[in-house]
Structure 1
Amino acid sequence: MELTDAMRTTGTCRYFSDQEVPDDVLYRAFDSARFGPQGGNRQPVRWIVVRDPGLKKAMADLYLPPWKAYFEGISGGDVRVGALPKTVTAADDFAEHLAEVPAIIVLCAEVSGLHPTDTGLDRLSVVGGASIYPTMQNLCLALREQGVATAVTTLLCIEEVKIAEMLDIPKGFITAAHIAVGYPTNSFPTKLTRSPVQDIVSLDRFGAIMFDDEAVAKATAPSDLVAAG
């Protein structure tokens, strides 16, 4: 499939079938994912594919309490989210059935392979993720190309110590995300809800308009090549 089609339809899947994802499908996805951009080619990312029912159940049991606390915050209005109510409901169903997902991939990263440059700022440090998450997104896109759906969550990272003990993750490695993987029960989305480009891109200064209505019309008009075809 075309890259842009994959990018526009790789949403978060909440409902998975019980069909196993074959090893060769996963191999091809990992083989492509490893080329994600990263600082200094240090390649800090490591993956653990969890299929064992007991391990998945243990992970799901750790996931549920923080999710329920978050879910109650959403329901009570204490937590602000941009998702539609049905999306939040689907996320709750996903949490309740996480142990039944065919595989949970644990995204690990070697701390020595990261180089966060924002640790001295008076805010949350996030820069180290630049050498982690592009590779993760590559994996999601490579799976999407093969008809496999994903759901990325970082909620379980709060239980990193227990997860590390459970999965024999050595010291010096962190858990950066967990990815539910499987074939979707429903079809892939054809249209994801996202903010328009003109609302999220500025020129030279934050909030300064870069794309006015004329620029948007020009950029989204069918090209001569497409029209000729």
Structure 2
Amino acid sequence: MDVIEAMKTTGTCRYFRSDPVPDEVLMSAFDAARFGPQGGNRQPVRWVVVRDKDRKRQLAEWYLAPWKTYLGGIADGDVAVGALPKAVADADHFAEHLHEVPAIAVLCAEIDGLHPTDLELDRISVVGGGSIYPTAQNFCLALRAQGVASALTTLLVHAEPQVKELLGIPDGVITAAHIAVGYPEHGFPAKLTRTPAAEIVFGETYGAPLAGG
């Protein structure tokens, strides 16, 4: 599959078939994902693949609580989202059925392998994620190339202490996301809806149009 096509059609899947994803398909995606960029080539990313029904059900229970709180905020108008009502309904379906997905890939990272350079700034630190999330996107793209869908969420990070205990994740290792993996029930989108590049790309100074954009 052409890499640009994969980028434009790797959406967040909310409906999965029950068919298991073979080990060789997962390992092929993990093998490609590891080439994602990371600071100093420290390679901090680690993965835990969860297929056990009881573990998936427990993860789903921990996911559902913050999701329902978030959903309530949307309904009350306290949380602003750009998603259409159908997309919100699809996300709710996903939350209610998370325990049924074939696999949940838990994205972890060794803290010693991160080097955030923004800790002293008066804002939330984000730089450490630069050594984690490119690998996650590579994983989703590599799955897409094999006809496998995915849905990345960070809501379960709320329950990191419980998740670490459930999965035996050691001290010094954090959870950064959880990725639902499976074959899509309704296929892949022909093209994702995103803000046009001309509206988000600037030249020289913020807000100034890029010449030729």
Class of the TM-score when normalised by the shorter of the 2 chains: over 0.9
Alignment partner of 2:24: what SS? helix
* Aligned residue number for residue 221 of structure 1: none
Q: How does 1:165-204 map to 2 (within 5 A)?
A: 165-204=165-204
> Offset at 1:137?
0.4
- Which residue is equivalent to 1:101? 101
Partner AA of 1:107 in structure 2:
L
In structure 1, distance between residues paired with 2:75 and 2:150: 25
- Secondary structure of the residue aligned to 1:7 is helix
Alignment partner of 1:60 is 2:60: yes
Residue 83 of structure 1: CA displacement?
Answer: 0.7
Deviations 1:145-171 (A, max 9, x none): 000000000000010000000000000
> TM-score of the superposition, structure 1-length normalised?
0.92
Matched residue type, 1:199:
E
- State the one-letter code of the partner of 2:69: A
Residues 1-229 of structure 1: matches in 2 within 5 Å? 1-211=1-211, 215-216=212-213
What is the RMSD of the two structures over their aligned residues, measured on CA atoms? 0.7
Work out the percentage of aligned pairs sharing the same amino acid: 65
CA distance in 2, matches of 1:31, 1:63: 28
Q: Write the distance in 2 (CA, Å) between the matches of 1:126 and 1:158.
A: 17
Q: How big is the shift at 1:187?
A: 1.2
1:191 positional shift:
1.6
Q: Where in structure 1 are there 5+ consecutive unaligned residues?
A: 217-229
Distance, in Å, in 1 between the alignment partners of 2:195 and 2:152 is 20
Secondary structure at the aligned position of 2:117 is classed as coil
Residue type of the partner of 1:88? V
1:227 equivalent in structure 2: none
Q: Distance in 2 between matches of 1:34 and 1:209?
A: 35
Matching residue's letter, 1:173:
V
CA distance in 2 between counterparts of 1:151 and 1:15 reads 10
**Which of the two has higher C-alpha Rg?**
1
Local SS of the residue matching 1:37? coil
Count of aligned positions: 213
- Structure 2 residue matching 1:107: 3-state secondary structure: strand
**Residue 19 of structure 1: how far off its partner (Å):** 0.4
Q: Distance in 1 between matches of 2:112 and 2:27?
A: 26
One-letter code aligned to 1:164: K
SS class of match (1:124) = coil
**Secondary structure of 1:169's partner?**
coil
**How big is each residue's C-alpha offset from its partner over 1:188-210, in whole Å with a ceiling of 9 and x where there is no partner?**
00021100011000001000011
State the distance in 1 between where 2:124 and 2:88 align.
26
Per-residue deviation at 1:75?
A: 1.1
Q: Which residue of 2 aligns with 1:225?
A: none
CA shift digits 1:31-90 (9 cap, x unpaired): 100110111110000000000000000000111010000001011110011111100000
